[in-house]
Structure 1
Amino acid sequence: MSIEQLAETAQAMVAAGKGIIAIDESTSTIAKRFAGVGIENTEENRRAYRELLLTTPKLSDYISGAILYDETLRQSTKDGTPFAKYMAKNGIIPGIKVDKGTHALAGCPGEVVTEGLDGLRDRLKEYYALGARFAKWRAVINIGDDIPTGTAIEANAHALARYAALCQEAGLVPMVEPEVLMDGEHDIQTCYEVTEAVLRSLFAALYEHNVLLEGTILKASMIVPGKDCPDQADVDEVAESTVMCLKSTVPAILPGIVFLSGGQSDEDATAHLNAMNQLGALPWPLSFSYGRAMQSAALKLWSEDLKGNFSKAQGTVYARAKDNGLAAQGKWEG
């Protein structure tokens, strides 16, 4: 795929008023979500739940793409249509999570690095053949006593850059996700400083690995205090701090930035995105790539009656997509 095609896909991912739905939970992670609402974690239940999300009527009004898990990319709707084919036909770009999760970073207690580079080139070729047109890799940065270290930041930035280069070689738009966790007691200024350092390291690594930013999407965490910090920030402070940090670190040539909800409540994630888009002209579109903040209400409703509440649950997915689509334009009214 040419850089023009990669750029075209990336731009479509952040089209005005649209965002990404993340339904890429691993089998073990979705088991926890299902257990929380009393659903048995079978392959058929996972398939049916992903079908509920992906076949929501008029979803493409506000959703441009969906990040899938390996199992999901290989599954089909109940009538036998492969999910990727159904999505492409209905205006939703198929994406795929390709990392293998976080592991302890040797020599750096309390810190992790994401693994999954071994064999990635061949996996990406297969995912492209299965219909994926973008991929996602999540790095995790912890804030705590004397962490993050420069070693952890650089190790994760290096892995993200190698992954991104391999994606573009395979014709996939890389979504790079360096998540700074909300866990801890740190204040908003500490989150700002850590996020700034992480993003500077990331874009330096992308440059060194000849990654074409025109065909890359950043999935960013917002600048928020730790959830155990006694001094929580209001919506405007989060929005202003996040935009300021991005302006100081993210090249203007990037097609767009999507945010993860990162443990925020559904409403907070939407309110913060909306406030950012009300701050005036920005170098790039700011949109969303939410998982739990898009799905939690639907999962609870569906769990109460897997067949009877299918359409009702889809209604909540559409409502959440609409709210966030409006927030991506600064037009959400709460």
Structure 2
Amino acid sequence: MAKDTVASTSQADRISSVAGFIAALDQSGGSTPKALSQYGVEAEEYSTEEEMFGLIHQMRCRIMQAPDFTSEKVLGAILFERTMRGEVAGMPVPQYLWEERGVVPFLKIDKGMEDVQNGAQILKPIPGLDELLATAREFGIFGTKERSVIHEANAEGIEAVVVQQFELGKQVIAAGLVPIVEPEVLIDSPTKTEAEALLKAATLRQLDLLEDGQNVILKLTIPNEAGLYDDLADHPRVLRVVALSGGYTTDDACERLSKNTKMIASFSRALAEGLSAKQSDDEFNAALASNIDKIYSASL
């Protein structure tokens, strides 16, 4: 138990104050085919779901074992449940990340979203959540991630998303983990700027209701107004504010992020941009290193 406590403390310190970014390696069932296609693996190259997940696991292992995927620039990595239960280099993935790479492991726990209502999508119910959180603790997971989506500047819809996110976050905290609260505003929303102002206000209201020790990480779309979320980053209940790439290219996401000095990256598509199953290890590692360098620099 003592070792677990020491590890948790050092992980919290890394996430809250060390330079770097959080890698998002958590594509799930619905997004896996697209992620594989971007990686140069087309649908005709696999015939079953098991084969599909096997191929995406190979891609993730290749990323995690790359020379530049270390604690020097990567603070944490968000995993899909199958990845958490899998192995890399003969070790459970969360153990490998922390013990071999110094990278803090997180787990995606949401099961998708409901249909759009009031311009937003709240989370679907998460069956067996308490058991999943307990299992995550056993695997050495530090925190969780749960994603909702905001389509437009609708105050009622945004409030519903934020309230649900924080209620779920409290359940995660009670299980001994740290939640990444992720109410994503779509980058192509025609009312993105207005939605972000409403989101900030709703988030501050929920943060002010948290008790001492109920700490969260916020994962937000890079705002149109640079510095908009600085007040959130300064809130005593926030360990870190991280940015999702949301479909921006790596260069565009990094340029936008660099203007928000109190946000760091938590990129998925931008991290994997330009990577291909057909590349040699040297080519793959060089492309990934370039992305890591760009994302790290933008997160400073």
Q: TM-score range by the shorter chain?
A: 0.7 to 0.9
Match of residue 49, structure 1, among 34, 40, 59: 59
Q: For the residues of structure 1 that align with 2:292 and 2:246, how far apart are their CA atoms? A: 17
The alignment's TM-score, normalised by the length of structure 1, stands at 0.78
Q: For the residues of structure 2 that align with 1:272 and 1:7, how far apart are their CA atoms? A: 31
Tell me by how many angstroms 1:177 deviates. 1.0
Please tell me the residue identity of whatever aligns with 1:138: R
Match of residue 95, structure 2, among 66, 85, 92: 85
Greater Cα offset, 191-200 or 170-179: 191-200
CA deviation map 1:79-99 (0-9, x unaligned): 421111110112011110011
Q: For the residues of structure 1 that align with 2:232 and 2:93, how far apart are their CA atoms? A: 36
2:253 corresponding residue in structure 1: 269
Q: For the residues of structure 1 that align with 2:67 and 2:108, how far apart are their CA atoms? A: 24
Match of residue 94, structure 1, among 95, 98, 105: 105
CA deviation map 1:87-138 (0-9, x unaligned): 0112011110011111115xx3653211234432221111111221111111
Q: Is the 8 A contact 1:15 1:64 kept in 2?
A: no
Aligned length: 287
SS of 2:19's equivalent in the other structure is: coil
Tell me by how many angstroms 1:59 deviates. 1.7
Q: Is the 8 A contact 1:165 1:210 kept in 2?
A: no
Q: For the residues of structure 1 that align with 2:212 and 2:5, how far apart are their CA atoms? A: 10
Tell me by how many angstroms 1:5 deviates. 8.2
Q: For the residues of structure 2 that align with 1:296 and 1:169, how far apart are their CA atoms? A: 36
1:124 and 2:133 correspond: yes
2:14 corresponding residue in structure 1: 12
The alignment's TM-score, normalised by the length of structure 2, stands at 0.86
Match of residue 137, structure 1, among 119, 140, 146: 146
Greater Cα offset, 248-257 or 59-68: 248-257
Please tell me the residue identity of whatever aligns with 2:147: R
Q: For the residues of structure 2 that align with 1:4 and 1:153, how far apart are their CA atoms? A: 38
Match of residue 230, structure 2, among 241, 247, 250: 247
Give 5+ residue unaligned stretches, structure 1. Answer: 225-240, 278-284, 330-334
Residues 1:12 and 1:125: Cα distance change in structure 2 (over 3 Å): same
1:327 and 2:260 correspond: no
Q: Identity over aligned residues, as a percent?
A: 23
Q: For the residues of structure 2 that align with 1:3 and 1:207, how far apart are their CA atoms? A: 27
Residues 1:66 and 1:211: Cα distance change in structure 2 (over 3 Å): farther
Please tell me the residue identity of whatever aligns with 1:319: S
Q: Is the 8 A contact 1:14 1:64 kept in 2?
A: no
Give 5+ residue unaligned stretches, structure 2. Answer: none
Q: For the residues of structure 1 that align with 2:217 and 2:12, how far apart are their CA atoms? A: 7
1:294 corresponding residue in structure 2: 271
When the two chains are superposed, the root-mean-square deviation of aligned CA atoms in Å is 2.6
Q: For the residues of structure 1 that align with 2:104 and 2:173, how far apart are their CA atoms? A: 16
SS of 1:65's equivalent in the other structure is: strand
Tell me by how many angstroms 1:316 deviates. 1.7
Q: Is the 8 A contact 1:258 1:289 kept in 2?
A: yes
Greater Cα offset, 36-45 or 118-127: 36-45
Tell me by how many angstroms 1:10 deviates. 3.7
SS of 2:91's equivalent in the other structure is: coil
2:200 corresponding residue in structure 1: 199
Please tell me the residue identity of whatever aligns with 1:150: A
SS of 1:263's equivalent in the other structure is: coil
